Structure 1
């Protein structure tokens, strides 16, 4: 069977674990050469080892801070130098710093969250844009969140919701301006997902596990997403099978946003 991403070069951020690691493995399995990055050196190198052990092609730069244009440019240049260009940019990385009620938030937490969830997407897109134009097209996949659609109580963060909504707006702009160059841009919005960042909801304090249980209770599919659920959707969006999907956001949330769900038990 023909691989969905054969011959493509994919930049994937945040490949040290969770959705990024799952994406690196899935994209490489489907034939893409993967250029990853992460702030965690050991975790990122482990992902490279896993991909290469499975027969895939991957390199990674770490530690790398995509909010810094020089780092983003170095990441892009590594893809060009090693694999000859860039076809796919998957902005997966992000870090949530601000949690809790609005009246307990601080400007510092707000600024750090915007930087590490929205600014890094903008900077990476700026670094790659001209390369995609020169290549005659490509695809940008930006990771938003269900929090960009709804305020998802009991997990509260004004900065997180604002950043993820901002990613959707940025994605539409990229799609509008990229169309003439053959560039598509889409965002994906995971719902409740099991990752290292959300592990506290499954194995943390009693209060944290209660929050996790409350979130799962709202999901009609009855479970949290696994990182692989998100990665497989991203593979499809990056492939030539999805060429008419553009300027939109794909919710991957087990029906949470579309169904008002109350357990009858």
Structure 2
């Protein structure tokens, strides 16, 4: 099947790298019209934590077409530090980079998703929304991704009368350029991750992208308020 998203218009944030880039490629392969958004390196450059810039972006998109069928909020950034070392500025920046970066595009896209009559929002929580990984200084990241999980359930309720579905994917450790840098800086991290995984391997962006294709497609028309863990079994025990 190569047409599961045929005729659908998709906005993907964080599309220049990692999971977002993997999803953009998979959506295009399935027939979607994809508009990638990132700070740089995507179809459109935008600071997704700047309220005015986000509102202006979606106003332009509305001029190009009356509806958006799919919004994938894959953009995120975080500071990693133990609580005794984390500054308040780092904490606030992480919550902005995990929560505001989802809220602002979703709010701006909401009228276009309503206009679609079949809107789908896909957000990213994390295995860190469910558990702490020994040796990982992810305090602010855990808080942010837990917030995304809760926010998306509320969006599912608010969107249901308008036929907008909202779901999350909770990845475990996925190999990207960013996580490869973490592995290089902390050689013990790989073994800590694999020790928690049931499947003794690390995930790849494609593993996440195929779940996103399904959630965005009409095959998942009865799925909303759900979270899909793709983490090698890390949160299952």
Q: State the TM-score, normalized to the length of structure 1.
A: 0.85
Shift, 1:2, TM fit? 5.6
Shift, 1:78, TM fit? 4.1
Alignment of 1:213-252 (within 5 A): 213-252=191-230
Shift, 1:216, TM fit? 1.8
The more displaced of 85-94 and 1-10 is 1-10
Equivalent in 40, 44, 47 of residue 61 of structure 1 = 44
Q: Deviations over 1:9-34 (max 9, x none)?
A: 00100111111111110001101001
Partner of 1:11: 11
Partner of 1:186: 167
Q: In the alignment, is the contact (CA less than 8 A) between 2:126 and 2:169 conserved in 1?
A: yes
- C-alpha distance in structure 1 between counterparts of 2:60 and 2:159, whole Å: 23
| Higher gyration radius (CA) | 1
Greater RCO, CA 8 A, separation 6+: 2
Partner of 1:85: 67
- C-alpha distance in structure 1 between counterparts of 2:6 and 2:234, whole Å: 33
Partner of 2:78: 96
Partner secondary structure for residue 199 of structure 1:
helix
- C-alpha distance in structure 2 between counterparts of 1:68 and 1:164, whole Å: 20
Aligned length: 237
Runs of at least 4 residues off by over 6 Å = none
Q: 1:83 to 1:29 in 2, by over 3 A?
A: farther
Partner secondary structure for residue 6 of structure 2:
coil
Equivalent in 117, 127, 131 of residue 150 of structure 1 = 131
* CA-atom RMSD in angstroms: 1.5
Partner secondary structure for residue 7 of structure 2:
coil
Partner secondary structure for residue 66 of structure 1:
coil
Partner of 2:180: 199
Alignment of 1:29-40 (within 5 A): 29-39=29-39
Shift, 1:82, TM fit? 3.8
- C-alpha distance in structure 2 between counterparts of 1:65 and 1:29, whole Å: 27
- C-alpha distance in structure 2 between counterparts of 1:75 and 1:7, whole Å: 22
- C-alpha distance in structure 1 between counterparts of 2:113 and 2:182, whole Å: 39
Partner secondary structure for residue 187 of structure 2:
helix
- C-alpha distance in structure 2 between counterparts of 1:258 and 1:129, whole Å: 34
Shift, 1:187, TM fit? 0.7
Shift, 1:149, TM fit? 0.8
Structure 2 gaps, min length 5: none
- C-alpha distance in structure 2 between counterparts of 1:169 and 1:199, whole Å: 29
Equivalent in 202, 207, 212 of residue 190 of structure 2 = 212
Structure 1 gaps, min length 5: 45-59, 260-265
Shift, 1:84, TM fit? 4.5
Q: Deviations over 1:131-162 (max 9, x none)?
A: 22233230110011111111122112221111
